[in-house]
Structures are given as C-alpha cells and as structure tokens.
Amino acid sequence: MTDLLQRILSGGHESFVAAAYAVSFALVALELTLLWRRARRAAEAAPPGHRP
Amino acid sequence: MERTWSTQREGDGRVPGWLAYASPARFDPLAARLAPWFLGAAAVLACAGLYVGFVLAPTDAQQGEVYRIIFIHVPAAWMSMFIYLLMAMYGALALVLHTRLSSMMASALAPTGALFTVLALVTGALWGEPTWGTWWVWDARLTSELLLLFLYLGFMALEAAIDDPRRAERACALLALVGAINVPVIYFSVRWWNTLHQGASVSLTAAPSMASVMLAGMLLMALACWMYTIGVALVRVRVILRERGMLPGRRA
Amino acid sequence: MTLARELQQSFAAIVRQDVLRAWRRRGQVLAGLLFFVIACSLYPLAIGPDVQQLRSLAPGMLWVAALLASMLSVTRLFAREFADGSLDQLLLSPHPLAWLVLAKVCAHWLTSGLPLLVLTPLLAQQYGLPLASSMALAASLLIGTPVLSLVGAVGAALTLGVRGGAVLLCILVLPLCAPVLVFGAAAGAAADAGQGMAAELSLLGACLALSLLLCPLATAAGLRIAAE
C-alpha cells in the first residue's frame, strides 16, 4: 500500500491515473453538493399553500 | 386557474399507466422513492467496476498502468452523448405532448451531461499527457466532446437567460432537438477533419486491445454512471418542480 | 390564384421588402461587412507577415471571420418584427411560416452573405492567396454562407427578445456551424494545394440541402415559442 502511495506521489504514470479518478470523484461531489444546496434553497423559498 | 401540468385528466381510467406519471403530483412521490435506489446501485456498481478495473485487469503491455484511466474516460464519454440524446428525446416529447414535466426532465439531465463531458475531456487530457506528451490531443472523440460541452453549456445558458419558465422550457426543448440532429453531423465532420489533417494516428480511439476483463470493467463503470445519472436526474427534477411552483403547496 | 403562384408571390414580396429595408438602413449592413474586413486584417497582424504561413492559414482564417460576421448580422433577422409587433402578422399569415422564414433568410443572405463572398477575393490578397485559389474559396463560401444564415436563423428565433441575446445566439449557433467551417476551410485549402475540392464542396452541398429542409421548420417552431 505504501509502495503504491509512493509510486503515485513520485509523479510517474500512476499519479496521472490517481489524478484522473480524484478529479472524477471531486466533480461528482461538486455536482451533488450544488444539487443539495439548490434543493435547500427551493424548499425554503416555496411558501406553504402556494398554488401556480 | 390554468392547468400547468399534463393535459391528461387525472383519475381517468383510459390513460395508459405510464402517461399518468406525466402529472407532477403523481411523479414526485415516485421519484422520491426511486432516487435512493438508483444512487445506491450506482455506488455498488462503481465499487464493482473499480475492483475489476484495478484489481482484476492486468497491466497493459504498451501503456502500463496509465490505460486504467479508460475505466472512467470511456463511460463518461458514452454517458455524455447518451444523456444529450435523452435530453433531445424529452425535448421532442415536450414539444409534441405539451407536458412540462418532459422539458423539466431535460433540464434535470443537462448539468449531469455537462459533468460527464467535462470528465471525459479532463480524463482524456490526463491520459494524453503521459502517453503522448501533450495535454490536449485533437483527436476526433475529444474534439467532438469539446463541441458537445459547448452544446450543453449553451442549453444551460438559454435556460438561464429566458425569464418566462414556460418559454424557457419550450425553447430549450427545441434547442436540444436541433442539437441532437446536429451531433451526428458534427461527429462525422470532426472525424473527417481528423483524418484529413493528422498523418500520425495519435488517437485516444486507438485503445489498447480489449481483454474481456477490461471490457467488463468498462461496462460496470458505464452502468454505474447510468444509475448515477438517473438518480441525480430524479432528485433534480423534484427540485425543479418546486422551483417552478408546479406542486400543490406544502401544508405548513 | 393557384397555391404555387401565391407562395411564389409571398416569397418575392418578403425578399423585396427586406432587401429594400436593408438598403435603406445600409449603414447596418456595411458595418457588418466592415467587421469582416477588420477581422480579416487582424489575423496577419497577430500572426506575422510571413507570406508562406499566411497563405496556408488563409482559408481557415477567412472562414472564421465570415462565420463571426454572419453570427453578428443574423441577430437583426427578426429584430424589427419583434420590436414593432408585426411578428404576430407573420405568424397569422395563411402561408406556411417555414416558407416565410425561408424568404427572410434568403433576403438576409443577399444582404450579408453575398457581399461577404464578393469581398473575399479582395481580402484574400492580404494573405498572398493567388486569384484562382481565392475564387475557389469564394465558391466554398457561396455554398457555406447560406447554411450559416439558415442555422443562425434558428438561433435568432430562440433568442428573440432575450437579454444578452447576441452573445447567447453566438454561443448557441457557433458549435452547430462547426461542420460547415470544417468543410469550407478544407475546400479552400484543397483548392490552394492544387487538389480538387469536389469532395468538400459536395459535403457542403449536403449541409446546405439538410439545412434548407430542417432549419426553416425549426425557426418557425422557435418563433411560435417566442411569441407565446
């Protein structure tokens, strides 16, 4: 495990793979966070008993 | 008071089962029940796919460990194109059936589609640098992905710019449809341009010869992305329904 | 009067009306052309006076400038109708809206695309492009600029009356015009290299045929959406 970590941090090819998956998880987390915040805003803004 | 949802009368026994869910009031609780299952399935499939991709799949003879980026790059590219086609389909439904929920589904899918397009581009760049020494490769797939990203962002920009929600929904539906018809033309023209200008086949489409294990990993990841997309879209469409005041109000 | 004659007359009437209106406001048309000329002159300033390099880049750069100029001018396609409310007249006309849209786009091309390709051989001299090659480039523009006008019309209908509409129109339409740009620039480059440009021109022709068929319908749908 530490060997793998060392290879990633050494800047070799493994670091690109790690970076790719890190970016993927980060973007997914970003989307979910933004969605959660948007949901919060919508729930707070909708007045009770509102009809179109 | 105008009807703002489906023209199908509610409670009408002659409405085919699925079409009744075009009514936001019926759709909302269904979406609420289903979304967690899809997101959960996405997590499970992603774990399975990554296990296959990193533990089971062997090191590639030519590209070493770097090729493992393929397990996120290719599914992301597939999803980015598939989501756009879905958006166009929902757009067509919205224009033909006049159901607002259809265009809201298109709007719900757009950010996720843009996400996968960005992901495909970034992972493509991270694959290109160690393999061919450049951060950007003008190969057919990456260039098409770039144009597809512009189409997604244009969709989201149009939606944001039009104030009237009904007009925004219908305009975006039309835009998605026009864009979808254009996507094959764009892809063909970019491939043609690519073969014209590049002698050396520096191409991400020249993937390592697929061992079946690698293919299995890619398919699992693709399924994971698919489940994720559906789950997030269901959550987002519920948010959109509330933003546009389409649901009868909550009792305080 | 037969339907065919009616359609023909309505088409001709709209083209005549729009061309006359553009002539009366020729400042606007000339400004668009001037933008094209300036844009073409900027590239050599940015890249350097090396004639070989400029000549090889000429078809691509002229095509990009034509594309940008076309995008800017197409914003005025329905602006007048929207401003003075006569858009409803267009929508209520007994003739098919797509047909009327085609007439408007035709008039627009006559006042913006056609002057553009007349200027092209002149501007190509700045790039050291020989006359035969620049005529070939103009031929590619002849087939390509109507496509730009047609696709631009769809964008114009979608962004009608929207704030920030001009930039939004460019964002929406430029990616859709990428195929035309690719084929058009390739045609010019092939002609300059001495190869035939039949393949590229036929691809451009296919784009034109497809957009003649689909764009007026899409634009008509967009106008209806904008007017609701």
ipTM for the assembly: 0.91
Of B74-78, B186-190, C135-139, where does mean pLDDT reach its minimum?
Answer: B186-190
| β-bridge mates for residue B60, sequence order | B64
What phi, psi does B229 have (nearest 5°)?
-60, -50
| β-bridge mates for residue B64, sequence order | B60
Which of C211, C210, C191, C209 is closest to C200 using CA atoms?
C191
Q: Which domain holds residue A29?
A: 19-44
Winning range, highest mean pLDDT, from A40-44, C131-135, C209-213: C209-213
The mean per-residue pLDDT over the stretch B36-45 comes to: 94
| Average pLDDT score over chain A | 80
Is pLDDT larger for residue C68 or for residue B195?
C68
| Inter-chain contacts counted by CB atoms under 8 A, chains B and C | 75
Contact present, C165 and B160 (Cβ < 8 Å): no
The two structure tokens encoding residue A4: 């793998």
Please compute Rg for chain C using Cα positions.
18
Cα–Cα dist B63/B66, whole Å: 6
To test the contact with chain A by mutation, choose from B242, B247, B251 the residue with the greatest count of A C-beta atoms within 10 A, namely B242
Interface of B with A (CB under 8 A): 1-2, 4, 64-66, 68-69, 72-73, 76, 111-112, 115, 118-119, 122-123, 126-127, 129-130, 228, 232, 235-236, 238-239, 242-246, 248-252
- What would the pLDDT profile of C71-92 be if each residue is shown by its tens digit? 999 999 998 888 888 889 889 9
Say if B121 is an interface residue toward chain C (CB within 8 Å).
Answer: no
Query: Band of the pLDDT at C216, cuts 50, 70, 90?
Result: very high
The pLDDT score that the predictor gives to residue B215 is 86
Amino acid in the structure at residue C107: A
The pLDDT score that the predictor gives to residue C72 is 93
The pLDDT score that the predictor gives to residue B3 is 46
Chains in touch with B (3+ beta-carbon pairs under 8 Å) read: A, C
Render chain B in DSSP notation, one character per residue: ----S-SSPTT-TTS-GGGGGGSHHHHHHHHHHHHHHHHHHHHHHHHHHHHIIIIISPPBTTTBTGGGGHHHHHHHHHHHHHHHHHHHHHHHHHHHH--HHHHHHHHHHHHHHHHHHHHHHHHHHHHHHHHHS-S----HHHHHHHHHHHHHHHHHHHHHH--SHHHHHHHHHHHHHHHHHHHHHHHHHHHHHHHHH-SS---TTSPPP--HHHHHHHHHHHHHHHHHHHHHHHHHHHHHHHHTT-SPPPP-
Among the partner residues B154, B170, B193, nearest to C186 by beta-carbon distance: B193
Contacts of B12 (CB under 8 A, 6+ apart): none
Cα–Cα dist C88/B75, whole Å: 47
Q: Is residue A29 part of a domain?
A: yes
Q: Is residue A36 part of a domain?
A: yes
Q: Is residue A37 part of a domain?
A: yes
Question: For the stretch C38-47, what's the b/e string if a residue is b when 16 or more beta carbons lie within 10 angstroms of its beta carbon?
Answer: ebbeebbeee
- With a cut of 60, say whether residue C210 has pLDDT above it: yes
Of B198-207, C123-132, C154-163, C213-222, where does mean pLDDT reach its minimum?
Answer: B198-207
The tally of domains found in chain A comes to 1
Q: Which residue of B has its CA nearest to A12?
A: B130
Query: Band of the pLDDT at B4, cuts 50, 70, 90?
Result: very low
Q: Is residue A23 part of a domain?
A: yes
The mean per-residue pLDDT over the stretch C2-7 comes to: 88
The pLDDT score that the predictor gives to residue B115 is 97
- With a cut of 50, say whether residue B212 has pLDDT above it: yes
Q: Is C132 helix (H, G, I), strand (E, B) or coil?
A: helix
Contact present, B158 and B174 (Cβ < 8 Å): no
Q: Is residue A24 part of a domain?
A: yes
Interface of A with B (CB under 8 A): 13-14, 16-17, 19-21, 23-24, 27-28, 31-32, 34-35, 38-39, 42-43, 45-52
Which of C80, C163, C209 is closest to B163 using CA atoms?
C163
The pLDDT score that the predictor gives to residue A44 is 84
- With a cut of 50, say whether residue C3 has pLDDT above it: yes
Q: Is residue A5 part of a domain?
A: no
- With a cut of 60, say whether residue B184 has pLDDT above it: yes
Largest CA distance in chain A: 61
The pLDDT score that the predictor gives to residue C110 is 95
Cβ-based neighbour number of residue A22 at 10 Å: 13
Rounded to two decimals, the pTM is: 0.89
The pLDDT score that the predictor gives to residue A14 is 79
The mean per-residue pLDDT over the stretch B116-129 comes to: 92
The two structure tokens encoding residue C146: 């109507």
